Structure 1
Amino acid sequence: MQLLRKIAYPFALIYGLVVHVRNYLYDINVFSSTSFNTPTICVGNLSVGGTGKTPMIEFLIRTFCKQYRIAVLSRGYRRKSSGFQMANAASTVAQLGDEPFQIYRNYPNTIVAVDADRANGIERLENEQQPEMILLDDAFQHRKVKASCNILLTAFDNLYSEDTFLPTGSLRDSKNQAKRAHIIVVTKCPSKISNKDKLGIRTLLNPSAKVPVLFASFGYDHFVDADGIKLNLEAIEHKKVALVTGIANAGHLLRHLNTLNLNFDHLEYADHHLYKNEDVRKFNTYDIVLTTQKDFVKLEAKVDRLYYVGVRHQFLNEEDQLIKQLILTIIKRRHEPLT
């Protein structure tokens, strides 16, 4: 492993140089960023996946959907369509991508669209849907758009301050870009974390004194099938069980399942994996297949006895109310007061 890191180190230096130059050109306005009339909340990170961006988008939908007409704009990674696409009842996971499709299924009354060109996507949403708030999924590094509020996520067990550039680490953007964050959320925390540990993390992240650092853990729901019927875990004790994951980091889910004393084979794939027929045939040799909702939407019509577990952010010390007020305060500084 050390040898591979040494071999990859020059590539990390080159990648880091390109990232620094790009950000510098934005900082001095050689490249321009566009602001929009509609309040935009960007959820993103500095690394490649694994911080809980989709659960955060869903948290924000639940938080604001009763007050505002919300739209979600995502890139729609690995979708088979192109350009701007609006989710509707006839949309497929291939057209939208796994995460936007999941969001639309969970919140069908929310406007969901995909577009790799975020500025174009926002313009289309403003012209065609007139949302009162736009949530930008995984757009922190997309500097063509200047969001009203930037929420930067970093995982408790992989803080961006301790990470390095790809390919030796998981950083896709420079650590100093954390200066653009209005709020930092440390995700995947233990359910109980001391004030001393919180202070230590804030010291490592070293944000501006005015930037709040909040803390959240992952909460898991029951495993359910397509009809919402809960899986009886005691009934599968002697069954042949597989856990199928195509996510950036399955470690937290594995630790959760180990607390349930389940015996299973973990079939692990790359993030956003597009499952092939041979994968499906393998899964169907098992009595029970457990997976994430992100993977479920790609497998539900193909795999028998398939169950998924939902995940959500649980803010510590009632910080869910604090982040709501912080977001509204930040937005009101940049827009006409929201009613």
Structure 2
Amino acid sequence: MYLLGLQILSWGYGGVVALRNFLYKKKLKKSIFYQKPKVIAIGNLALGGTGKTPLVIYLVQLLAKQHPTAVLSRGYKRKSIGFKVINGLDTALTAGDEPYLLYRHFMDHPNVTIAVCENRAKGVAKIVEYRPNVAVILLDDAFQHLRLTPDLNILLTTFHRPFFKDHLLPLGRLRESRKGASRADIILVTKTPANLPPSKMGPIQIAIQKYHTKAVAIFFSHIIYHPPIRMSNRKQTSLPTTLLLVTGIADPLPLRNYLASNGHQITHLAFPDHHWFSAADASAITRLFHSLSDSDKAIVTTEKDYVRLIDLPWRKLLSPLPIFYIPMEMGFTQETQTIFETKIMEALGF
């Protein structure tokens, strides 16, 4: 009976979303297209945890070598409103954790602008006004934002929970029906096991293609983890065997599995996605850390959680503890990487 109730709610939710999409498709609702700058929309059908931020970093590194590039995000859960270009006075609280992470990656790059705005159409116009020579704007988490018509639509889905095996909210995690994949120009299967054989990719490609009316470019990416960095001195180092893993992201399982596969004993304290850590959380983290019996131990977290920890007033509660974050990036096989980058540049006319 419970599942039937969720199914009925999913049908209702799906009907509302389908009507909205239909109105845009038939041009009964207006969508804005820019001749310049070029616009890339990046997003997913499911709720968070598909790896959008690593892809945005990857694309900025690719494009900003030769073209002034901006990233526009909503700035989810930030303590500010309206349009804002992120600068050195901002923190994760004022910018949002993901935009602030991006800013820290590119703050010294002259070709990169990171901005936030709840209204994406207004945000694009403001970026053009702020930086008239901008050549390309990346819209983060904007696959459902039909108010703008992008030059390139990139859809992400995870290897372990692809959209074609998921269901609409609230029965599943999909924001819109699987048919929404038909809008994508590129579909990226993220968090794929490294060195996945082609025989494992084929069935996934076939399943994805069923939701597309034309042949769509499908790529597989994996996570590359870098050596841990200690928060107190920003130096790379190694980790002890016993770890307290603290996360506030949508999908911490890949990191947990990575640490376990490297022989670490994990105690995991998981908070909700985009969680703003409080003084009470800091106390709970400290108590749990001290309760671990091994004397050689450490706290480890993600880079996205790290940017929510570094500038908070109660950081001193955690400063005596050995806390590390693990940087990560998106990886491809060399052959696939060349094809992927060529597809991006051709779509933008660069």
TM-score range, shorter chain: over 0.9
Q: 1:314 aligns with which of 320, 323, 331?
A: 331
**Equivalent-residue separation in structure 1 for 2:4 and 2:255 (angstroms):** 31
Residue 174 (structure 1) aligned to one of 152, 174, 177: 177
- 2:119 is matched with 117
Unaligned runs of 5+ in 1: 333-337
Tell me the SS of whatever aligns to 2:224: strand
Aligned letter for 2:143?
F
Partner of 2:225: 220
Mapped partners of 2:91, 2:83: distance in 1? 15
2:135 alignment partner in structure 1: 132
Provide the C-alpha distance between the structure 2 equivalents of 1:274 and 1:251, rounded to a whole number of angstroms: 20
Q: Percent identity?
A: 33
1:260-302 deviation per Cα after TM superposition (whole angstroms, max 9, x unaligned): 1111310001110111111011222325221011111111241
Structure 2 match to 1:247: 249
* Contact 2:256/2:266, CA 8 A, preserved across alignment: no
Aligned counterpart, 1:335? none
2:189 to 180, 186, 189: 186
Q: Is the 8 A contact 1:217 1:316 kept in 2?
A: no
Tell me the SS of whatever aligns to 1:186: strand
2:238 is matched with 232
Equivalent residue pairs, number: 327
Question: What letter matches 2:328 in structure 1?
Answer: V
Q: CA deviation at 1:96?
A: 0.7
**CA RMSD, aligned part only?**
1.4
- The one-letter code matched in structure 2 to 1:106 is H
| Aligned with 2:280 (options 278, 287, 292) | 278
Aligned to 2:150: 147
Structure 2 contact 192–221 (Cα < 8 Å) conserved: yes
Q: 1:27 to 1:266 in 2, by over 3 A?
A: same
**Aligned residue for 1:14?**
12
- SS in structure 2 of the partner of residue 113 of structure 1: strand
Contact kept? 2:45, 2:177, Cα under 8 Å: yes
- Read off the aligned partner of 2:24 and give its amino acid letter: Y
Deviates further, 200-209 or 257-266: 200-209
CA contact (8 A) 1:152 1:185 kept: yes
Question: What amino acid is aligned across from residue 46 of structure 2 in structure 1?
Answer: S
Give 1:170 deviation, angstroms: 0.7
1:317 deviates by 4.7
- Counterpart contact for 1:74–1:138, Cα < 8 Å: yes
Look up the equivalent residue of 1:271 and give its one-letter code. D
Amino acid in the other structure paired with 2:251: N
CA distance in 2, matches of 1:329, 1:53: 21
In the alignment, which residue of structure 2 is the partner of 1:75? 74
Distance (whole Å) between structure 2 residues aligned to residue 114 and residue 300 of structure 1: 20
TM-score by length of 1: 0.93
CA distance in 2, matches of 1:27, 1:232: 52
CA 1:192/1:124 → structure 2, altered by over 3 Å: closer, same or farther?
A: same
Given that residues 87 and 104 in structure 1 are in contact (C-alpha distance below 8 angstroms), is that contact kept between their aligned partners in structure 2? yes
2:3 alignment partner, one of 2, 5, 26:
5
Q: Structure 1 residues 276-285 or 16-25, which shifts more?
A: 276-285
Report the CA distance between 1:319 and its aligned residue. 1.7
Q: Give me the whole-angstrom Cα distance separating, in 2, the residues matched to 1:329 and 1:320.
A: 14
| CA-CA distance at 1:193 after TM superposition | 1.7
Name the SS for the 1:274 alignment partner.
coil
**Normalised TM-score (structure 2):** 0.90
Q: Are the aligned partners of 2:244 and 2:300 in contact in 1 as well (CA < 8 Å)?
A: yes
- Contact kept, 8 Å, 2:72 with 2:140, in 1: the verdict is yes
Specify the code of the residue in structure 1 equivalent to 2:22. Answer: Y
1:114-155, Cα deviation, whole Å (9 max, x unpaired): 011111000000111121111111101000011111111110
Q: Unaligned stretches of 5+ in structure 2?
A: 290-296
Q: Is the 8 A contact 2:245 2:299 kept in 1?
A: yes
Question: Is the 8 Å Cα contact of residues 150 and 183 (structure 1) preserved in structure 2?
Answer: yes
* Cα shift at 1:331: 1.7
Tell me if structure 2 keeps the 8 A contact 1:53–1:137. Answer: yes
Distance in 2, Cα, partners of 1:9 & 1:208: 27
| Aligned residue number for residue 294 of structure 2 | none
